[in-house]
Structure formats: structure tokens, C-alpha cells
Structure 1
Amino acid sequence: MASAFTVTISDPEGMHARPAGRLVEQAQKYQSAITLDDKGNKADAKRIFAVMGLGAKQGDTITVNVDGPDQDKAVEELQSFFKENL
């Protein structure tokens, strides 16, 4: 069964190129499928153009969906990533 969590973007610049690139690098470490959902717009967290295309801004709440064999580890580490970087 898939796991999900929400995160609110706190970076004043939103999800700009640097943290988006770091997010993609982090997401690519996992076998699980990782998708971001921002107000109904979905993006594959392993694709930089998809992540940047969300246009997530400060204050936006994003749902992170993780589904796959290493989803528990991915959720734990991605939650930490968002707290530290966005």
C-alpha cells in the first residue's frame, strides 16, 4: 500500500532550481515511484522538468506519494529532506 505525506513549502523563493535538483537526486535513490501533487498538478519527483513545472511557491502544500518496495525508507528520508531544504 502506498504512503503519503504533506509538506508546506517554506522557502521564500519556492521550489526553485537548486532545491528541485536536490529533490530529484534524492528521489532517484529509491526504487519506489515518487509523485508530487500541488493543487491537482502532479509531477514525477525523479524528473527535474516535471518538478520545476509544478511552480510550487512559498506557502503551497504539496502531497508526496510514495509507492514501491523501499517506500518506508523513502518517506522517512524525503520528510527530512523537505524540512532541511524547502
Structure 2
Amino acid sequence: MAALIGTGYAEGTLDRFTITINHLREFIKIKFNRVDMEFADLDLAFIKDFEFYLRTGRNNKKANKMSKADIAILGKLEKEIQLIKEKYNIRTA
């Protein structure tokens, strides 16, 4: 991601990406007691649980101030995951 700065991505994008990745790792560890997830295991329930975690699961005032763009991204994520699963014939375990 850092290599993309200056090619249409701002440094703030990298910061938000890094923060989100850290929150995602923390969420997976807490919710599933794992360090990683298989792509095939991602579904709407996972996304909704992650969104709920972002809004309530951390002692962070920003958690309750998700922007409309953040919420829209989470909504689009399920569609993208489904398209990728269909394209590469990935079956949910």
C-alpha cells in the first residue's frame, strides 16, 4: 500500500488502511481466537460483526463516528467478496 502513495493515493489513505488492518486483526483474534481467516469464510455475517465491533467493541470515541463513506464501503464489501468467490469458484467451508 505504501508504494501507491503519490499515484492516486494520499498518505492519509495509508494511515486509514493501516488502522483498519490493525482493527481487523484484533477483531479476528477476539471473535475467532485465530490470527487469520480464509477468504472463503468471509460473508455478510462476518462484515456485519466487524462493523458492530468497530462501532462498539473498542474504547475509542471514533468508533461511533464512522463516516457514511465507511458504512458504504462495508456495504459494498459483501458484493465484492461474492463476485470474487464466484469468479474463482471459491466455496464457503
TM-score (norm 2): 0.33
Bigger strand share: 1
Q: Which has the higher contact order (CA 8 A, sep 6+)?
A: 1
Bigger helix share: 2
TM-score (norm 1): 0.35
